[in-house]
Amino acid sequence: MASTVREDKEGKWSSDLVLDLYSGLLKEIWEIVSALIGEAILALLFLSAIRKIGEKHPFLISLKVSEEGIVLDRLKEEGQNLSPLEIHRGFQSLINHLFQLFSALAEGVINKELFPKVFPKVKEADRIISQR
Amino acid sequence: MTSDTKEIIESAGTNLPNLFDFSSFGVFWKEGLFLYLYQEESCPPSFTKSVVENMVKVLSILGEEPIDVSRVTLRVEKRKLRPNQMMNPQATLKSHLTLPLPVEGEIIGCISLNSDQPNAFDAQDLQFFSVIGYQMTATLKHFQRFSSIKDMAIYDTLTNVHNRRYFDERIGAETQKSFLSGTPLSLVMVDIDYFKNVNDTYGHTEGDKVLCKIASLFKNSVRKDDTVARYGGEEFVLILPGAKLEVTSMIAERIRRLVETTLFEVGQTQIHLTISLGISNLPSHRARSEEELIKMADHALYNAKRGGRNRVCIFMGYPAE
């Protein structure tokens, strides 16, 4: 019983950590890319990616995007009931899809700016997941 | 694509070579799948083809639905963008920047800078190009809003045909043209028979639907240069420039038969309706003004009603006093 409680608590903490990590990452992506292509276009791309990836990872639909930016409050609330692995996979797919969209628009120009920031964070998420 | 839009694109095309080194600048307009390319004079067909394919691919991805490249209408403007360089005759697209044109949350098209050189553009180019894209979008939005306001002033908001105000202006202009040039002009006044019963029996909401359907039938039955306008509640009027009396009679009869044979959905049921039509014509009826022409068509319509409705009547003169 005690070990089950401990495992649940660790799982919950991992979910929080992964959520926080990806929330920060999305905000960073927003900051970098909006400086290159503007908020209106970026919001459209985010919404398109959420629509597409949300089919497989419905929790992402809670992500609110507008020209003002990304709002993660509701997603953080709803993500609390998900396993760290689910969160990790969902966000990974979302970010991969965004990269594909950026690449379609401007080939490597946008992704070149993003890789140095994104890659270490994704690795960090991998590490958190594998620690369980 | 309107002429205002074309001007904006041409202006961008003229100014962009001062800011970027590129082989072609493209604007892909989602409505009508119109692709406008402003490109270096020596661009070979292989390059143009790869640019078109890429822009279609990007807009398909952004719009989340595939676009058939064979349906695209392409217009190419060639300019000497690189006076001292000729492009390789086998050149293809090697790098590009393509940005969507968002208007009120909807993508109306995309713009693209294209080059036959790899890695021709960097982050700074992208930043600058996106500013140009936003400016272009803002200007296009302005023209779109202006055009919407213009539309509201001349279209009947229910039936989407022209309104009375537009008709009044149009008939004046066409009558003058007919007087000056001698070209024929026909006017057809149309009234839906027993329409009051439809409203009384099924309600005004269903009645409005019927009006919309009938207006749509009229729009699809006339020629390109003809005008369909809502004259009053259930009364419509058609202006047929250049149409002789015989042709007008044929068009009117065709419309009458079309309405007669159409089933109109009202509530849970379907009903048949008929219309009465009155025709006047220049020069046949020798009206001396547009008011007289309208009065003649109206009188012909009155005769159609008196004669039993569901018929076409041509103006035959006023009864002797």
Q: How far is CA B178 from CA B171, B173, B182, B226, B284, in A?
A: 10, 9, 5, 14, 12
**Which residues in chain A touch residue B97, judged by CB atoms under 8 angstroms apart?**
105-106, 109
Nearest to A48 among B64, B130, B131 (CB): B64
Residue B134 neighbours by CB under 8 Å, 6+ apart? A38, A40
Q: Give the start-to-end residue ranges of the domains of chain B.
A: 3-154, 164-314
CA distance A21 to chain B (A): 26
CA distance A36 to chain B (A): 5
Nearest to A105 among B58, B95, B123 (CB): B58
**Would the CB atoms of A35 and B127 count as touching at under 8 Å?**
yes
Query: What confidence score (pLDDT) does residue A1 get?
Result: 37
Please report the number of interchain residue pairs, chain A to chain B, with beta-carbon separation below 8 angstroms.
58
Nearest to A104 among B61, B123, B125 (CB): B61
What CATH code is assigned to B3-154? 3.30.450
Orientation of helix B204-221 relative to helix B195-202, angle to 10°: 140
**Would the CB atoms of B62 and A48 count as touching at under 8 Å?**
yes
Nearest to A38 among B61, B105, B130 (CB): B130
Strands B263-266 and B269-272: antiparallel
**Would the CB atoms of A106 and B58 count as touching at under 8 Å?**
no
User: What's the full length of chain B, in residues?
Assistant: 321
CA distance B87 to chain A (A): 22
**Which residues in chain A touch residue B61, judged by CB atoms under 8 angstroms apart?**
101, 104
CA distance B296 to chain A (A): 56
Query: What confidence score (pLDDT) does residue A128 get?
Result: 77
Strands B263-266 and B73-79: unpaired
User: What is the interface pTM, i.e. ipTM, of the complex?
Assistant: 0.84
Nearest residue of chain A to residue B138 (CA atoms):
A40
Nearest to B95 among A37, A40, A107 (CB): A107
Nearest to A109 among B64, B121, B137 (CB): B121
Contact map slice: B 67-126 vs A, CB within 8 A: 95-100, 102, 105, 107, 119, 121-123, 125-126
**Would the CB atoms of A37 and B95 count as touching at under 8 Å?**
no
Q: How far is CA B150 from CA B22, B139, B225, in A?
A: 38, 16, 19
Query: What confidence score (pLDDT) does residue B143 get?
Result: 67
Residue B83 neighbours by CB under 8 Å, 6+ apart? none
CA distance A46 to A26: 10
B49 three-state secondary structure: helix
Dihedral of CA atoms A100, B105, A47, A116 in degrees, nearest 10, equals 50
User: What's the full length of chain A, in residues?
Assistant: 132
- As its CATH architecture, domain B164-314 has 2-Layer Sandwich (3.30)
B44 touches chain A (CB under 8 A): no
Query: What confidence score (pLDDT) does residue B4 get?
Result: 66
CA distance B182 to B185: 9
Query: What confidence score (pLDDT) does residue A2 get?
Result: 37
**Would the CB atoms of B126 and A37 count as touching at under 8 Å?**
yes
Q: Where are the alpha helices (DSSP H) in chain B?
A: 3-15, 45-63, 123-154, 164-181, 195-202, 204-221, 245-261, 290-306
Catalytic residues of B: 234
Q: What is the mean pLDDT of each run of 10 residues along chain B (321 residues)?
A: 68 80 90 87 92 94 86 86 82 94 85 94 93 82 64 80 91 88 94 93 92 92 90 94 94 95 90 96 92 96 96 90 59
Query: What confidence score (pLDDT) does residue A13 get?
Result: 59
Helices (H) and strands (E) in chain B, counts: 8, 12
CA distance A69 to chain B (A): 14
B26 touches chain A (CB under 8 A): no
Tell which of B97, B110, B125, B132 to mutate to test the A interface (max A CBs under 10 Å): B97
Query: What confidence score (pLDDT) does residue A3 get?
Result: 37
**Which residues in chain A touch residue B130, judged by CB atoms under 8 angstroms apart?**
36-38, 41
CA distance A38 to chain B (A): 7
pLDDT string in tens for chain A (132-residue length): 333 333 444 555 578 888 888 888 999 999 999 999 999 999 999 999 999 999 999 999 999 999 889 988 888 887 778 888 889 899 999 999 999 999 999 999 999 999 888 888 888 877 877 775
